[in-house]
Amino acid sequence: MTPPTPSEERRTVVVVGAGPAGLTVANILRAASVDCVVLETESRQFIETRPRAGVIEEWAVRGLRQRGLADGLSAGAQTHDEFEFRFGGECFRFDYGEMTGRHHYVYPQPLLVTDLVREYADVRGGDIRFAVRDVRTHDLETDRPAVSYVDPATGRRHVLRCEFVAGCDGARGVTRDSIPDGRVRIARHDYGIGWLALLAEAPPSSDCVLFGVHPDGFAGHMARGPEVTRYYLQCPPGDDPENWPHERVWTELRERLGAAGTPPLREGRLIEKRVLDMHNYVVEPMVFGRLFLAGDAGHLTAPIAAKGMNLALHDAFLLGDAIAARVTEDDDSGLRGYSHASLRRVWDYQEFSEFLSGIYHGTASGDPFLAGTSLARLRRLFTSPAAAAAFAEQYLGSAAAF
Ligand code: RFL
């Protein structure tokens, strides 16, 4: 039996993926009255509850505000302006707020995604199709590319013929893989390290972010709200989360974050426990024909420096504005400069992530030379005001010239 002919629809922009990048692009297009449709393989409920990032930089919040996308964030976010290294049983507080007058916002990614979906679909009346299957791209090098998917309700393939495809489908999506070999360069870096990412149903154990630098491995503590706290424990890459029962997790956290004169950690049930292998990649350029990659689809930064969602938002601002200018004013300068403009910030953040990894992981590397240099790097932050100021700028993502 011949398969039924796929149905075809004409649209202007197809956005693949409803994460922070895709939803922000879609909201910008919708506000500029540019026709678009968002395709997402998961359900709305799933993406609105998937725990991930939390730390958002000031410029990113300003960008969301300017586009009318930060009401929930402005009402619900906390701010952070200092952190503490815990090392050798002592605390070293780094007050970057005092130093710079700036801070981070902390707003869980699922809340931001919920706000962005609501604004796009419910307020701005945008078209979003959840739980689509087997998404494929077509004819990307022509001026009438297409994206097709299998409709979960009918089981039939549906084709969206369009002018632009925004590939915002994250690290495991299909748009990056649809670029033929050799047409873009993919730079990769593997840290050879795993992090056990944990969410504990417990109030924060400190009034600030904690980074434990310990011979057994890195440990981190970050508030995510009054009743939920994120913790990280360095572990071997590919480790099985089942190797980390409740008692072992809290024993290691107490050991690696322990310091004289600090209150005990506030323990709670572990509601998320997964191993992240720390690796990065960057796709250059982030464009192939009429496909424009944005966010994790175009570059992955291991969560060492909490930069991934910020980069996704940066791309989305650039790409959303650029497509809107091209469609509404026939101005293609933004699209021509998109990849270059995005990659400047991407490489800057990759470099900082690499630098920070040296501090976090050097003492546990088993290499006494690396341990020595990483401690020198750490000490310098507390002895050299110039080094501290440079670090604060990178940590905040506040350097002006991107
Ligand atoms: P996302 O969020 O992965 O969204 C991609 C969406 O595409 C869907 N999808 C598809 N849709 C259609 N067709 C397909 N074939 C598809 N394949 C996938 C997916 O279901 C999903 O809904 O990518 P985006 O928008 O680029 O956003 C990137 C951020 O999510 C990511 O960089 C951050 O979460 C990274 N990150 C952090 N970033 C920060 O800036 N600050 C942080 O504090 C921070 N903490 C973290 C993090 C990432 C973590 N994990 C889980 C890797 C903490 C953790 C634990």
**Could you tell me which of 400, 361, 395 has the C-alpha nearest to residue 381?**
395
Distances (CA, A) of 375 to 62, 95, 198: 35, 19, 26
CA 247/CA 262 separation, integer angstroms: 20
What is the DSSP-derived secondary structure letter of residue 89? T
- Superfamily of chain region 1-402: FAD/NAD(P)-binding domain (3.50.50.60)
- Is ligand 1 within 6 A of the CB of residue 220? no
- Is ligand 1 within 6 A of the CB of residue 276? yes
Query: Which residues pair with residue 83 across a beta bridge?
Result: 94, 209
CA of 19 from ligand 1 middle (Å) equals 6
Establish how many alpha carbons lie within 13 A of residue 215's alpha carbon, considering only the half-sphere containing its beta carbon.
6
State the pLDDT at residue 98: 96
CA 189/CA 301 separation, integer angstroms: 10
Residue 368 has pLDDT above 90, yes or no: yes
List helix spans (H) across 210-307: 246-257
Give the pTM: 0.96
**79 residue type, one letter:** T
For atom 41 of ligand 1, the residue with the nearest CA is 306
CA of 43 from ligand 1 middle (Å) equals 15
Beta strand residue intervals within 265-357, DSSP E: 269-284, 287-288, 291-293, 299-300
3-state helix, strand, coil in the chain (%, to 5): 40, 25, 35
Spatial contact of 77 and 56, defined as CB atoms under 8 Å apart? yes
Q: Which of 52, 149, 174, 221 to mutate to test the pocket of ligand 1 (most atoms within 8 A of CB)?
A: 52
Confidence of residue 4 (pLDDT cuts 50, 70, 90): low
Residue 208 has pLDDT above 70, yes or no: yes
> pLDDT per residue over 299-356, tens digit each?
999 999 999 999 999 999 999 999 999 999 999 999 999 999 999 999 999 999 999 9
State the pLDDT at residue 401: 59
State the pLDDT at residue 399: 84
Torsion sign over Cα 299, 304, 307, 308: positive
For atom 23 of ligand 1, the residue with the nearest CA is 170
CA 314/CA 310 separation, integer angstroms: 6
CA of 172 from ligand 1 middle (Å) equals 9
- Please confirm whether the linkage preceding 180 is cis (ω < 30° from 0): no
- Is ligand 1 within 6 A of the CB of residue 170? yes
Spatial contact of 191 and 335, defined as CB atoms under 8 Å apart? no
CA 285/CA 381 separation, integer angstroms: 35
- Is ligand 1 within 6 A of the CB of residue 346? no
Residue 29 has a CB neighbour count (10 Å cut-off) of 29
CA 51/CA 114 separation, integer angstroms: 12
Domain boundaries, the chain: 1-402
CA 273/CA 200 separation, integer angstroms: 9
- Is ligand 1 within 6 A of the CB of residue 169? yes
> pLDDT per residue over 102-131, tens digit each?
999 999 999 999 999 999 999 999 999 999
For atom 50 of ligand 1, the residue with the nearest CA is 52
Tokens read off for 154: 């009918």
Residue 200 has pLDDT above 80, yes or no: yes
Tokens read off for 292: 């424009």
Q: Which of 109, 349, 395 to mutate to test the pocket of ligand 1 (most atoms within 8 A of CB)?
A: 109
Q: Which of 296, 345, 353 to mutate to test the pocket of ligand 1 (most atoms within 8 A of CB)?
A: 296
> pLDDT per residue over 16-56, tens digit each?
999 999 999 999 999 999 999 999 999 999 999 998 888 99
- Interhelix angle 308-329/20-31, rounded to 10 degrees, is 30
CA 213/CA 195 separation, integer angstroms: 14
CA 34/CA 13 separation, integer angstroms: 8
Mean pLDDT of the chain: 95
Residue 400 has pLDDT above 70, yes or no: no
**119-128, 173-182, 393-402: least confident range:** 393-402
Higher pLDDT, 81 or 402: 81
CA 106/CA 278 separation, integer angstroms: 22
State the pLDDT at residue 51: 84
**366 residue type, one letter:** G
**Could you tell me which of 397, 382, 396, 387 has the C-alpha nearest to residue 84?**
382
